[in-house]
Structure 1
Amino acid sequence: MALKLLRPDGVKDWLLRRYAKQHRSWFDGGGEWPLAVPLGSPTERDVIDDIVMVRAWVDSWAGWRGVGALQTVDRKWPRMGSQTLPVALSFAGPSEIAVWCGQESSWGRARKRADVLLMRWPQVVNGGLGRFFDLLADYHDNDFERLLAVLSWALSNPASGLYMRQLPIVGVDTKWLERRTTVVAELLTRIRAENSVGSDMHETLGLRKVPHRIRMRILCPQLRSCVGGLSDIEAPLNELSALNIHPQIVLVVENLESGIALPDMQGVVAVMGLGKAVGVLARLPWVYGRPAYYWGDIDTQGLSILSLARAIFPALVSIMMDVATLLQFKELAVDEPAQVSSVLENLTSDEQALYEGLRNGTWGPRLRLEQERLPWHYVLKSLTDISKVLTP
């Protein structure tokens, strides 16, 4: 095995790798200190075999004045006589390693800001601040001051009931907070000594959510008379849930444009553009017990939403989302940028076969047939077939 002797540049490479992996743990007080980096331990035989290399190694550490304590050892060999050799470079703590890694400023800034947090809220140390190292090290001074201001205000107003845009915090605008809600919520959880971060960031911050709005079209002229003749409605979910309507069919349409283009259909209400938020339909009492259909894109994302929708409507039937439709209009397909890879539990066997085929590239790589691209005469025929089957 080749003799391994570390010169200063080799030590730096070693420290860079160690720092990248462990600096967050070190920030929380982890690691064993002092940390000694072995520089090598040549034998007399090694020196005799390659005295030039060993001498260059010894010279690289001669008169060492850098950060870290150089440890040496005296060797007395029969042939080479007495020699003083470097054996290790010892570091008292992570701040010294940060110097070697060119991270002295970042480490110092993070340490200083952590001290500010700990001085104000000593309990924040629970669980450590290492996971927030990048924030503490890289935030602009103004952003760190904004963070402190938001934390202070939220702690003083744990249940304000305000909307995010209403927060009276100097220098903090909505976009700034929206990009940092997770960080703020996690730090608040630490300061409050709670066990875990709530799944609802608004609840954690004591804020009111902007009401979820749903857009729907009442395609049936008779049903429209129950809502003052309106056919295209967008309103908060709780208001729509109070509607006194009794559709014969609920049609869930993935994309807004497709829903807007739908013709009048007897007994049909179409809900559109929900995407993966399709679960909110469970809060509309007038959809229960109604025959339900889903029409979305033929791609893995569309089938994923279909699976979510069927969790609410177990008897949900998909339309125009099958292999036959894909193959008939394959020339209109485009690429799906990012395919779903998870297991979809609520698909029929035919839908599952379509899903697996799309993922495996059976009919071409990453195919997506968007519902808007289907010829309209084909769409109208499929919708007419639904009306014939379900309308008394």
Structure 2
Amino acid sequence: MKVLAAMSGGVDSAVAAARAVEAGHDVVGVHLALSRMPGTLRTGSRGCCTIEDSRDAWRACDVLGIPYYVWDFSERFKEDVVEDFVAEYAAGRTPNPCMRCNERIKFAALLEKALALGFDAVCTGHYAKVIEDADGNRELHRAADWAKDQSYVLGVLTHEQLKHSLFPLADTPSKAEVRAEAERRGLSVANKPDSHDICFIPDGDTRGWLSERIEMADGEILDHEGNVVGTHPGATAFTVGQRKGLRLGRPAPDGKPRFVLEIRPKDNTVVVGPQELLAVDVLRGIKVSWAGLPIAAAGSGEEFACMVQVRAHGDPVPARARVQAGADGRPELAVSLVEPLRGVAPGQTMVLYQGTRVLGQATIDSARSAAWRGAAG
């Protein structure tokens, strides 16, 4: 099989490519240049896609004896990931740029180009598993190492994309084993730290980064009963669940800290309240997609049991879900959580599971708390 290995410059993608070579595939390595002005060096484990990363990817391909290319996807990344990130924050939502990158860059733009060039599959270092059912249809499942499982950020993959996806690390029991294997293979990235945070905001200052791209204006901070308790320099700089940096001029009657419950960009207000009101039990999801063929209930509108995960490293919680028609006629997910979740914000992605299988995903459009509904009457 002719395989295009996406080489990030990290240890996972390097070992994944090595295993693809060892399996007998015809492998070509490619590093995606996602910025026209990449940083010269990483800062610890922050960020990715730097000049250093491209060089590490080249060194790994050299050790493996496979061809290496750099493809410039910077314009596509800017439009589909960075600009989407800014637009979502401007609309009062909290997006997940890694989901958008996997959806629109690594498994849309990259796979599309790979197939056009005659490749059969794209290989990545993600910790996730693709399993074929009795009819040969592909399903996405959690990796063997749940601590490193990345099936959440791959929940956007479609049935067609799964046909051309290769995840050689699926059954690896631990990240330590991957590093040990890289060491044995002579890969210089064996002890390279994992990247984290948003790659295009390597210093981690999301608020400062957004303030340079979104026009900020002073506005009011309200408590959950509608009382003005402070002011802010711009509503879009806040996220649901935030506690620090509120600088409230009026303390809560019970003296307890308050948290951001809601962001209202239309009137530039931020709503705060007690921590218990962060717990939500009803979610509505838009932009629904299915990882593999959808289950029968997706077409019938019947309610089905599932587990819901709303963060890459969050714990899944039991839920009941059903597909319904939205106001625009497009399918939506209506989800009732058996166990409430805290700090869920519109714009986040909810991924649905049954056992280890990823059913699909949706972007959270609203997250409601029964307690708040009761308090509001």
TM-score using structure 1 length? 0.26
Structure showing greater relative contact order (alpha-carbon pairs closer than 8 Å, 6 or more residues apart):
2
In proportion to residue count, which structure has more strand?
2
In proportion to residue count, which structure has more helix?
1
TM-score using structure 2 length? 0.27
Which of these two proteins has the greater Rg computed from alpha carbons? 1
